[in-house]
Structure 1
Amino acid sequence: MVDEPSVLCAVDAGVATLTLNRPKSINALDQSMVDVMDESLRAWAADDAITAVVLVGAGERGLCAGGDIVTIHRDASALSSANAGDADAAACASAAFWRDEYRLNADIAKFPKPYVAIMDGIVMGGGVGISAHANTRIVTDRTRLAMPEVGIGFVPDVGGTHLLARVPDNLGIYAGLTAGQLSGADAIALGLADHFVPAADLDAFRQAIGETSVTDAIAKYAQEPPASKLAAQRDWIRDAFAADTVAEIIDRCRAVGTEEADKTAATIAAKSPLALAVTLRSLRDEMPTLEETLHREYRVSLRSMLNPDMAEGIRAQVIDKDRNPSWRHADHAAVTAAEVDAFFAPLPAGLELTI
């Protein structure tokens, strides 16, 4: 039996469709998928017969759950236990994947034609990178969007810190530090998506793109989104997440005194103190462009591979699933500025990401 391609490419009536086709893994990205997407988008950008591109995920569970976590765990485990350095991290398979993935993220943001990302179901990590930089972002009543990296001792990447840093009222910092799932309505309220189309109308919406245009299809099928539950909490989030350190943010959440704020404090407190501190720095020190952000995220990603928290976080959440990671720091206040600074230091000559 021949396996189906992991990305299906089709063209009908001038509309090209990319279907991520690994439904058993919620269409998690691997190197071959990134390669196919890159090659296809470059060809379609130059083809005058193509008027628009639509990105969808196969199966009922979602667009894309992120990157290939098994490969990342293998590399992180080997590097964090081998006294490795930047050059070793840059030579691993995960680093090669990130280089190509981040370049793809940048190219998607500059795509010269309508690029319609159908962000239905689960859209996490790498799935955000191939959809939330699109010029036309569609969410539904089933959307569950997240940048969950801090939960595995990692830091938001794929341009995620570029997106979250620009969200007003510290709601983006909230999303990055809690790794919580956002609804379609939340995603629109935070500026991570553009239009709300009910999941039941997606087939008709996609058909209308080919029969008319992207603009006309949106006009016919997009609806006013429900109220965002997260945006409704912006007042206490804005104040609590304005603190200078993760430890202070946790204390401010606890001081709010509501069930939701207490839950938020507990959620953050359970995550890697070092990954959270690096994430907070990434979100506070906003870079001018997506490309500059991706350059910095690549540095941070390589340094995360060398940090034992990443291998431990993946082990606890994905491999052994005991949900009981043993982080490098037991106390969020114990993380030093020098430790955080090291993640952002320039890489040795020849190792920096080029876009």
Structure 2
Amino acid sequence: MTQTVSDERILVKKHTALGRITIDRPRAIGALDTGMVEAFAEALAALATDTDIDTLLLDATDDRGFCSGGDLRRLHQQITDGDIEAVDRFFRAEYTLDAAIADFPHPVVTFANGVTMGGGVGLACHAPVRIVTETSRLAMPETRIGFTPDVGGTLLLANAPGRIGEYLALTSAEMDAADAIYAGFADHLVRFEDLAAVREALETRADPSTPGELILLFDETPDPAALAAARGWVDDAFSRGSVPEIRARLAELAADPALAEQADLGPHTPAAALALLEQRPPLALAITLESVRRARENGDLKAVIEQEYRLMMWYVTTQPDMVEGIRAQMIDKDAAPRWQLTSDTQVTRELVESAFEHEATPLFG
């Protein structure tokens, strides 16, 4: 049975005891705008109180990916137009939706196939049953655009093994399926060609009956995670107390011939990490490092999302880097952002603290 919500790009269906919310924006790999987020929340709330439903599936029509994140072009236009109310409406809706998925009263299964980044991680990775495929590419890419991880992502990063979270957060490095499972962003590897069979099994409730047990019938053993192989040097470098100290240690590790010859690191090498940090704005790096570490100390999803929301409003109302980063990556595509601050020495402790002390209307009660 199909249900109608306020945005046609969000599809809602019920089949026996399975509720299903599907993102249908294939031309943009599911990029989210306010209408989509609000419709998604509308569908989620209705299914949460539907007595016929005992499992929820989140997926997308686009084989290229589940969700590429927020609609950055629209966000850029809203900020440059000075429409802060519209920006605030989007982020409040998105962040509360992410928390609502985590609080859903029944098991939630997500298909994080293909591109699942930023806002897509917020939708997919707070669920209890998270499926990735051989096509999956997960990341929190916010530092690429001069911003900091959000959508509850800093808690996922904080809970990753060792200092993997700091590494992924600061560099915006991408994870394949094995990396995502190792880092705690996913639970099961299923072949892309088997996703339709998983959907059918969830609909028909073939034995075993619980979603987690059922998916084990399709579960594949991932290859060894390159992130696991990189854990030693990552913990060494990214446990340092500041971004300059991390850079310095990465430079030392990049010169280590043993690490240079370690083939199982895949893309996760000290030299690659150092090169990525050189592309990121110093302010975003400092705030991101602090944000992940505060999330680790806090440990509560809603409190972490509140922190991310304050940071977002601080960026939108006081800092030009996010708008400039979107311009360089998505609008003009010149890959030449002009960051406000260009060196670590310009980022003072007082500036970082001011971001975390920014006042914003609470999201949750």
Shorter-chain TM-score range: over 0.9
* TM-score for both structures, normalised by structure 2: 0.90
Q: Is the 8 A contact 1:251 1:265 kept in 2?
A: no
Aligned residue for 2:217, secondary structure, equals helix
* 1:44 aligned partner, one-letter code: L
**Stretch deviating more after TM superposition (279-288 or 234-243):** 279-288
Q: Is the 8 A contact 1:148 1:176 kept in 2?
A: yes
Q: 1:78, CA displacement in angstroms?
A: 4.6
Q: Is the 8 A contact 2:302 2:364 kept in 1?
A: no
Aligned to 1:86: none
Report sequence identity in percent.
Answer: 40
Query: Deviations along 1:1-22, whole A, 9 cap, x unmatched?
Result: xxx9111111112211111000
> CA 1:216 to 1:243, structure 2 compared with 1: closer, same or farther past 3 Å?
closer
- 2 CA distance for matches of 1:13 and 1:285? 43
The answer to whether the aligner puts 1:41 opposite 2:71 as a matched pair is: no
Q: 1:220, CA displacement in angstroms?
A: 1.0
Which 5+ residue runs of structure 2 have no aligned equivalent?
A: 1-6, 261-268
Aligned to 1:119: 112
Q: 1:353, CA displacement in angstroms?
A: 2.6
Query: Deviations along 1:178-197, whole A, 9 cap, x unmatched?
Result: 10110111111011111111
* TM-score for both structures, normalised by structure 1: 0.92
The answer to whether the aligner puts 1:254 opposite 2:251 as a matched pair is: yes
Q: Which of 35, 38, 48 lines up with 1:32 in the alignment?
A: 35
The answer to whether the aligner puts 1:318 opposite 2:330 as a matched pair is: yes
* 1:273 aligned partner, one-letter code: P
Aligned residue for 2:89, secondary structure, equals helix
> CA 1:250 to 1:77, structure 2 compared with 1: closer, same or farther past 3 Å?
farther
* 2:363 aligned partner, one-letter code: L
Q: Which of 312, 327, 339 lines up with 2:351 in the alignment?
A: 339
* 1:29 aligned partner, one-letter code: L
Aligned residue for 1:120, secondary structure, equals coil
Aligned to 2:284: 275
The answer to whether the aligner puts 1:328 opposite 2:353 as a matched pair is: no
Which 5+ residue runs of structure 1 have no aligned equivalent?
A: 80-88
Aligned to 1:221: 218
The answer to whether the aligner puts 1:62 opposite 2:65 as a matched pair is: yes
Q: 1:346, CA displacement in angstroms?
A: 4.2
The answer to whether the aligner puts 1:292 opposite 2:303 as a matched pair is: yes
- 1 CA distance for matches of 2:34 and 2:236? 41
Q: 1:74, CA displacement in angstroms?
A: 2.1
Q: 1:216, CA displacement in angstroms?
A: 4.0
Q: 1:148, CA displacement in angstroms?
A: 0.3
The answer to whether the aligner puts 1:266 opposite 2:269 as a matched pair is: no
Q: Is the 8 A contact 2:33 2:74 kept in 1?
A: no
Q: 1:23, CA displacement in angstroms?
A: 0.6
Q: Is the 8 A contact 2:129 2:212 kept in 1?
A: no
* 1:280 aligned partner, one-letter code: L
Aligned to 1:130: 123
**Stretch deviating more after TM superposition (20-29 or 159-168):** 159-168
Higher relative contact order (CA 8 A, sep 6+): 1
Q: Which of 303, 308, 319 lines up with 2:314 in the alignment?
A: 303
Query: Deviations along 1:43-88, whole A, 9 cap, x unmatched?
Result: 1111121121111111221000001101221233355xxxxxxxxx
- 2 CA distance for matches of 1:294 and 1:178? 21
- 2 CA distance for matches of 1:206 and 1:117? 11
Q: Is the 8 A contact 1:157 1:294 kept in 2?
A: yes
> CA 1:346 to 1:326, structure 2 compared with 1: closer, same or farther past 3 Å?
closer
Query: Deviations along 1:202-232, whole A, 9 cap, x unmatched?
Result: 1111111112232342121112222111111
Q: Is the 8 A contact 2:237 2:249 kept in 1?
A: yes
- 1:135-284, aligned counterparts within 5 Å? 135-212=128-205, 213=209, 214-256=211-253, 257=255, 258-259=259-260, 260-284=269-293
Aligned to 1:83: none
* 1:27 aligned partner, one-letter code: G
Query: Deviations along 1:79-126, whole A, 9 cap, x unmatched?
Result: 5xxxxxxxxx8x421111111111111111111111101000000000
- 2 CA distance for matches of 1:107 and 1:326? 37
Q: Is the 8 A contact 2:133 2:192 kept in 1?
A: yes
**Superposed CA RMSD:** 1.5
